[in-house]
Amino acid sequence: MTELKPDALRERLRARFARYVDPEFVLTREEELRPYECDGLPAYRRLPLIVVLPGDIAQVQRVMRICHEEQVPVVARGAGTGLSGGALPLEHGVLLSLARLNTILEIDPDNLRARVQPGVRNLAISEAAKPYGLYYAPDPSSQIACSIGGNVAENAGGVHCLKYGLTVNNLLSLEVVTVEGDRLTIGGAGLDSPGYDLLALFTGSEGMLGIVVEVVVKLLPLPERAQVAMAAFDDVEKAGQAVADIIAAGILPAGLEMMDNPSLRAAEDFVHAGYPTDAAAILLCEVDGDNEEVSEEIARVRRRLLDSGAREVRTAVDDAERARLWAGRKAAFPAVGRISPDYYCMDGTIPRKHLPRVLREIAAMSEEFQLRAANVFHAGDGNLHPLILYDGNNPGELERAETFGGRILELCVEVGGSITGEHGVGLEKIDQMCAQFPAAELQMFHSVKAVFDPAGLLNPGKAIPTLNRCAEFGAMHVKAGDLRFPHLERF
């Protein structure tokens, strides 16, 4: 790294960047930097040394070449809606915003694909494709704001990923700028390409391997019909079991979502979706396809939900009611924000069969930590989003919320799941990576990064913990002489 004091390094970088990027898009004053101090995880904040917003790929390449020459670290940022601290800047580094690369370059209906820049909003792709009878399937709850580049970085999902897959399942190719400023094309127009699957490697790599500057996504035909059923349960565990029952019956819904009472009450108060606020939990189960297929499947779903203990099953009568039911689910996070000064959003994945057990244990942890938890789940694929409610103005509450969240993630690993389903690891979950992976696998991750970024300049300190950090994490989890997870003994 350049051995200059921060002010001198900032001025040096400003002058070099301004040769290629309009000076108004090279930000150095504190009031300009402040909006970039965090992503959607506001508990962690840090001012970057400098922010640069290139306007095209050539400018991205110039910026990266300068950073590589100066050996200055770079954190790439999309819309800033991430929830794991992945875009948290570095005090001694460059924050590279891709917000100005926001053009839909091509909608290709004949080949069912769209070519877009990374700053394009997720929802904008479907809006542009709709006149052709097409849409882009992954639909995170933040789709109105989140960018496709950020979706690629975190391998985002959404309420319909059960049937249609995550971002990685809906990509054809990426244009990537390397840490040295070179441009690579990864993937291609076909369904497969020779060589290693670098497209899958880059998807979910959290900006640690390269800078995504162009994306080609798959488009799907809009289904002839989609219909959603809402089931109300008097018992949260019965709702969890109903999820497993539906999948076991051979039904593959387009979406299968669950909300417990605190989250559905908050959403109903916010959106007025028509949820029964006295229910312990609700499930939203949507099927899509042609008219005949949907009629048959929604009838099967209804019978299965009633057999699994639902006290009420209501089917949306038209698209307007369907939209309202989904609006409540997609607004769950901001809705919960109206009932608590702060909340801490977790993101873990478990095998569906363990959903009742995990719900019980989360409730027990809520009592233990004396913090409320509102649960929102992509239940069909076991992706949990417990929202831990706290007040950051009360001393110690944030720390309790973080410990509570860490315990939930470790429970996910314990039952055979993962510490992330779609939000990524970032800074938030880096310790829990030590619970999921043994030393040999972590070392392999570091080796892969070193191939693309030998000096460790791209988003350093995120996603992949050092083995020393894992040794410290393991030492903290010694209980009565035994580690919580046996494989941590390798550290």
Report the pLDDT averaged over residues 180-208: 93
**Degrees, nearest 5: CA angle 79-202-252:** 85
Q: Which residues contact 449 (CB under 8 A, 6 or more apart)?
A: 208, 209, 456, 458, 464
Q: What are phi and psi of 179, to 5 degrees?
A: -60, -25
Q: Say whether both 118 and 48 belong to one domain.
A: no
Number of domains making up the chain: 4
pLDDT tens profile 200-240? 999 999 999 999 999 999 999 999 999 999 999 999 999 99
CATH number at residue 191: 3.30.465.10
Range of the domain at 29: 6-97
**Of 97, 123, 148, which closes a domain?**
97
pLDDT of residue 477 exceeding 80, the answer is: no
Q: Say whether both 131 and 85 belong to one domain.
A: no
pLDDT of residue 3 exceeding 90, the answer is: no
**Of 317, 335, 353, which closes a domain?**
335
Beta strand 383-390 with 281-289 is: unpaired
- The mean predicted confidence, pLDDT, of the chain is 94
**Of 281, 305, 335, which closes a domain?**
335
Q: Is 375 part of any domain? A: no
Q: Say whether both 114 and 212 belong to one domain.
A: yes
Q: Say whether both 86 and 111 belong to one domain.
A: no
pLDDT tens profile 299-343? 999 999 999 999 999 999 999 999 999 999 999 999 999 999 999
Q: Please, which contacts does 318-322 make with residues 24 or more away whose CB atoms are closer than 8 Å? A: 321/274, 322/226, 322/227, 322/228, 322/286
Q: Residue 436 and residue 275: Cα distance in Å, rounded?
A: 37
pLDDT tens profile 384-416? 999 999 999 999 999 999 999 999 999 999 999
Q: Say whether both 202 and 137 belong to one domain.
A: yes
Q: Say whether both 252 and 309 belong to one domain.
A: yes
pLDDT of residue 102: 98
pLDDT of residue 236: 92
Q: Residue 198 and residue 202: Cα distance in Å, rounded?
A: 6
For residues 397 and 391, the answer to whether their CB atoms sit within 8 Å is: yes
